[in-house]
Chain A
Amino acid sequence: GAGVSQSPSNKVTEKGKDVELRCDPISGHTALYWYRQRLGQGLEFLIYFQGNSAPDKSGLPSDRFSAERTGESVSTLTIQRTQQEDSAVYLCASSQNMGQRYGGYTFGSGTRLTVV
Chain B
Amino acid sequence: GQQVMQIPQYQHVQEGEDFTTYCNSSTTLSNIQWYKQRPGGHPVFLIQLVKSGEVKKQKRLTFQFGEAKKNSSLHITATQTTDVGTYFCAGPRGKLIFGQGTELSVKP
Contacts and interface: CB of A to CB of B under 8 A. Distances in A.
Asked whether A and B interact, the reply is: yes
Interface of B is mostly: strand
B108 interface: no
Interface stretch (B14-22, B52-60, B64-72, B98-106): B98-106
Nearest to B50: A101
Contact of A42 (B33, B42, B92, B98): B98
Contacts of B88: 42-43
Nearest to B92: A100
B45 A104 contact: yes
Nearest to A106: B45
Contact of B33 (A41, A55, A104, A109): A104
B99 A48 contact: no
A41 B99 CA distance: 10
Given A56-B94, A56-B95, A100 B45 contact: no
B74 to A, nearest CB: 14
Nearest to B30: A100
Nearest to B33: A104
Contacts of A109: 41-42
A35 B90 CA distance: 13
A31 to B, nearest CB: 9
Given A42-B101, A91-B43, 15 more contacts: A33-B96, A42-B88, A42-B98, A43-B98, A45-B95, A45-B97, A98-B94, A100-B30, A100-B31, A100-B33, A100-B92, A100-B96, A101-B48, A105-B33, A109-B41
